[in-house]
Structure 1
Amino acid sequence: MPRPGLRTRPLRTRPLRARILRGLATATAAASLATGLAACGGGDSVTAASDGAASDGTVTVGALSNGAGKETVLTVAAVPSIRAELPKKVRDSGRLAIGVGALPAGFPPLAFVGTDQRTLTGSEPDLGRLVAAVLGLKPVLSNATWENMFVGLDSGRTDVAFANVTDTEQRKLKYDFASYRKDNLGFEVLRSSTWDFRGDYRALAGRTVAVGRGTNQEKILLTWQEKLKAEGRQLTVKYFPDNNSTWLALDGGKIDAYFGPNPDIAYHIRQDAGTAHPTRNAGTFSGAGATLQGLIAATTKKDSGLARPIADAIDHLIKNGQYAQWLSAWNLSNEGVDRSLVNPPGLPLDNS
């Protein structure tokens, strides 16, 4: 996201991708994605054939996403005062090398290969492009495995990673962060349901909720189940072999809600919108637990001098409303932040 009994963020992040992809086994987007990766050659690191940004600062958010994102054209002017904050080497290069750890299979809606079977799309690459535009730099995206993305940062081959990386105190020993999104879990219910979760576990009394085994959200849900049991109330927890089975159970009224990663839910809500049983998000909860709001952050090599100008670029996008448009395009508005923080408090060393 170890809190006691909870997985570390790398382990939780990768199952998030696996859970999303299992639920996309028959989807057109997954088919296009698999073909696209094969076309790229399947190596450990692939530079995107198209960076998806025009030289005039125009970024088409949600492009080539097969419906995962709402295509939105944004024109972002370079800001000289923020560009001047960049380390001279990066500023003079005219490029921002952006790492995305989406190999081998991608993780929509966050990062995956688009329908042209070449371009990296998703909320993470799109924000990288927007930040590069503010900095007056050409975005150069490279796709790698999760582990090799960090190798790229360590070696200096990559300037910054936009890859759903959670800010943790352990990672801050090696990296600097500029936060840009809340790290949330969410509850998915049928759109017809009147139930909502507003942060109080007592709202779960009498409910039946599905969750993935061995996940951070399972540990949180089981903790709430024990609290309710001690209060003489019941929460029924259900498990299913994959997301398709979970969603069928939700459609059929066998469960009241699914508790999972918020981006996973955001993606499914958009995919399910035109079906007979559309769903909605009934509330979120910090993946870091009740006492700390987890944050997703742009990740740079420690002391590289990049975190501050990237944070200022994100703040500029927030002020201009383009950040909100980016979130909305990917159905992630409930993960928005008021400002980008450089190295904010992260998950503690004993649970990160």
Structure 2
Amino acid sequence: MISHRTSRFLVGGMLFALAATGCTTVSQAETTQGAGAPASGSASTAALGVNEAARALLPAEIRDKGTLRVASDPTYPPFEFYDTDNKTLIGWDADMGDAIGAVLGLKVEHVPATFDTILPGLASGKYDLGMSTFSVTEERRKVVDFVPYLQGGTGLAVAPGNPEKLSMDTATLCGKAVAAQKGSIQSLDILPAFSKECTEAGNPAIDLQFFPTQNDANLALTSGRVQGVMADSVSLAYQGKLADGKFEVAEGPDFEPELTGTALGKKSELLPAIQAATQAVLESPAYAEINTKWGLPASTEITPADVVLK
């Protein structure tokens, strides 16, 4: 049996390399997954009033502009994806972003972007916030700041019935083709580390296949080009339902549960306001309503005290 080592994330250097890369818009045609999804918006979110203490923390430029520009990769239901009109970005992050905006008295502009260009876009000032279920890692914290809003771990999507008997146990993955989305912790750290464990134990390496969108990775699984896909377990379970059960999450506990949250440019003047607004949302009925609406289990919820990182 191959043991799992504590992961060390490698994204930091890549962010600097990507900083000069232009952000590309995700194709609407390839990411539409809204059929059967909940309607956009939230009654509790709509009823949230402005928190004047949080609003007072806004930089004058943002307060005067009246808008937050929030980037998300709309290929990752239930967190961010297109509604049936192929243009409206909906999902957990969209609702949470709207709730934060409501607390701050700001309009939120949701901007579609490919996942691995969002953090460099924050560093260059292209976006105010990145809300795309970013895992809060020490390496990422070297180049961006985070305001946590959830916690969760990695799961493995497999064909119905899991004919290959795969799991988040490394030994079951050696020699198998496993996909992930480019720029995710699964592609940058977890899968390469697992593959190294395989070879160090004298087993075949994992056939690592990384795709620009989560949809592409899922399609590789349903078309038989890979035997598994690694991503956030909650998102994978939701995506499997939207795909009419063409894939499912392998049984077993999540791998290395950790905080996820809103990303901001390093030392952004927005940080105190976003922290205060996020705490206000977590203390309101809107947080539980958004989680229930998008099918997130209670285990993903955090407390207001978790919002400010040490």
Common fold: TM-score over 0.5: yes
Distance in 2 between the 1:191 and 1:319 partners? 39
User: Is residue 2:233 matched to residue 1:260?
Assistant: no
Partner-residue secondary structure (3-state), 2:86: coil
Paired with 1:206 and 1:169, the residues of 2 have a C-alpha distance of 27
Q: Do the aligned partners of 1:99 and 1:158 also contact (CA within 8 Å) in 2?
A: yes
Provide the rounded CA distance (Å) in 2 between the counterparts of 1:221 and 1:243: 20
Does residue 75 in structure 1 map to residue 44 in structure 2?
Answer: yes
Residue identity opposite 2:111 in structure 1: S
- One-letter code of the match for 1:111? E
Amino acid in the other structure paired with 2:92: S
Q: Does 1:97 align with 2:62?
A: no
Assess if the C-alpha contact under 8 Å between 1:97 and 1:157 holds in 2.
no
Residue 23 of structure 2 is matched in structure 1 by none
1:119-198 matches, cutoff 5 A? 119-144=88-113, 149-150=118-119, 153-154=122-123, 156=125, 158-182=127-151, 184-188=153-157
Could you tell me which runs of 5 or more consecutive residues in structure 2 were left unpaired when the two chains were aligned: 1-5, 16-25, 211-216
Give 1:218's aligned amino acid. L
- Summarize deviations over 1:208-237 as a string: whole Å, max 9, x none: 97622893443354466579x69xxx9996
110-119 vs 147-156, which moves further: 147-156
State the number of aligned residues.
276
Percent identity of equivalent pairs: 18
Alpha carbons of 1:307 and 1:100: their partners in 2 closer, same or farther (altered >3 Å)? same
Whole-Å Cα distance in 2 between the matches of residues 166 and 217 of structure 1? 12
1:120-157 CA-to-partner distances (Å, cap 9, x unmatched) read 23333332112111222221233345576456534556
1:195-210 to structure 2, matched below 5 A, reads 201=169
User: How much does 1:303 deviate?
Assistant: 3.5
Give the counterpart letter for 1:70 in structure 2: P
TM score, norm. by length of structure 2: 0.64
Q: Report how far residue 100 of structure 1 moved.
A: 0.9
Instruction: Show the counterpart of 2:57.
Output: 86
Task: Tell me how far apart the structure 2 counterparts of residues 342 and 300 of structure 1 sit (CA, whole Å).
Answer: 14
Aligned-partner Cα distance in 2 for 1:178–1:108: 20
Aligned partner letter, 2:151: K
| Structure showing greater Rg | 1
Whether the 8 Å CA contact 2:7–2:190 is kept in 1: the answer is: no
Is 1:246 aligned to 2:196, yes or no?
Answer: no
Q: TM-score, normalised by structure 1?
A: 0.58
Residue ranges of structure 1 left out of the alignment (5+ in a row): 13-29, 37-63, 346-352
In the other structure, the counterpart of 2:11 is: 8
* 2:263 counterpart (296, 299, 321): 299
Distance 1:317 1:107 in 2: 25
Cα distance in 2, alignment partners of residues 123 and 298 from structure 1: 12
Residue aligning to 2:309: 344
Q: Which residue of 2 aligns with 1:21?
A: none
- Partner of residue 311, structure 1: 275
CA distance in 2, matches of 1:280, 1:92: 43
One-letter code aligned to 2:29: A
| Matched-pair contact (CA < 8 Å) for 1:182–1:336 | yes
CA contact under 8 A between 2:154 and 2:254: conserved in structure 1?
yes
The residue that corresponds to 1:34 in the other structure is 29
Measure how far apart 1:180 and its partner are.
Answer: 1.6
1:49-68 matched pairs, under 5 angstroms: 66-67=34-35
SS of the residue corresponding to residue 162 of structure 1 reads strand
